[in-house]
Amino acid sequence: MILARVVGTVVATRKDPRLEGKKLLVLKPIAPDGKDESGYVVAVDTVSAGFRERVLAVSGSSARMAEGCKDTPVDTSIVGIIDTIDMDEGADSR
Amino acid sequence: MYLGRVVGRVWCTVKNPGLHAQRLLIVQPLTPELKPTGRNLVVTDSTGAGAGELVYWVKGKEASFPFRPDEVPSDLTIVGIVDEMRVKRQPQPQPPSLALWKSGPCSSQK
Amino acid sequence: MLIAKVIGEVVATRKHQSHEGRKVLLVQPVHLDGSDRGDSVVALDAVGAGVGERVLLATEGFSAMTAVGRPDSPIDMAVIGIIDRVDLLPELLPPASPASDR
């Protein structure tokens, strides 16, 4: 699983029927301290995450273990909204 | 899947039994403009591709699927031979950095 | 999933039978600012995408196979959606187009 923040949404009318009704969000991976990491990924939202929220995303075949994603063509899904991150010594979670 | 050209072949006498009778080919990954990109790879083949042919291959667990029910321990397998390609895109401006360095002072001694 | 642009089509007569009847597309993944992200890849089409369109690219085997409807086949990438719009936080928009978010 990765830590990420929601930075955008994707709208696609013509898509796989099994993706219909699913919210597609653009995520930017972050470090535990909240700093952006490189790249981005488009993920299916299963927890009603909003813009700027820090979320937990799972990728690969495990993404389809998330509720409502079984047997759908999904490779990354958001499975949690992060409240706090506690790190051992040094790194603070903001 | 990825695009490339068959540039060689590997022979192994000793190999995992799962690779028995598998042809091992070397491919050079290419851009759609047919420029080499990245390092050479050793792949198995499910299409009968030969030297010099333009192919595309699949990566990961799926690379063993064409050989089912045999269990072939391969992570790269050619799954198609390209006859023709239609590419349409504006060339992106290349970042000047690397190319300039490579042809810089270091390479002048040859 | 990644955002990508369809830049071409591949014609292949000899290919794995699971790829028959599907368009083979050349697809260039892009960054959020629209610039190229790495090398372009070959993906099967599951939605009827055409050259020049901005699409959603599944980059993992199972999702690609499910989208194309060919389970247990050697498919690791597929175009699973055609993107109409991407909305981004203002700070991520390319500096060249500051007005586009308003």
For residue C42, the domain's CATH number is 2.40.50.220
**Positions in chain A whose pLDDT score sits under 70:** 89-94
> Is C51 in Cβ contact with B88 (below 8 Å)?
yes
At residue B109, the pLDDT reads 37
User: Do residue C51 and residue B92 have CB atoms under 8 angstroms apart?
Assistant: no
User: Is B92 part of any domain?
Assistant: no
What does the pLDDT read at residue B106?
43
Query: What pTM, to 2 d.p., does this model score?
Result: 0.80
Dist. CA B54–CA B85, nearest whole Å: 10
Subunit partners of chain A (3 or more CB pairs within 8 A): C
Domain boundaries, position B24: 2-85
CA atoms within 13 A on the CB side of A16: 27
Query: What ipTM was assigned to the predicted interfaces of this complex?
Result: 0.80
Residue B108: pLDDT band by 50, 70, 90 thresholds?
A: very low
Position B54 in a domain: yes
In angstroms, the CA C41 to CA C29 distance is 8
| Cα–Cα dist A21/C71, whole Å | 23
Q: Is residue C79 part of a domain?
A: yes
Domain-located, residue B91: no
Average pLDDT over residues B38-59: 93
Q: What pLDDT score does B91 carry? A: 63
The mean pLDDT of chain B is 83
- What domains can you pick out in chain A, each with its CATH number? 2-12+20-81 (2.40.50.220)
| pLDDT tens by residue, A19-40 | 999 999 999 999 888 889 889 9
Interchain proximity B79–C52, CB inside 8 Å: no
What is the average pLDDT value for chain A, to the nearest integer? 87
* Nearest-Cα residue of chain C relative to residue A69: C63
Using 50 as the pLDDT threshold, list the residues of chain C that sit under it.
97-102
Measured between beta carbons, the chain A residues lying within 8 angstroms of C80 are: 15-16, 19, 73
**DSSP H or E run through C65:** helix C61-68
Separation of alpha carbons B95 and B38, rounded Å = 17
Count of domains for chain C:
1
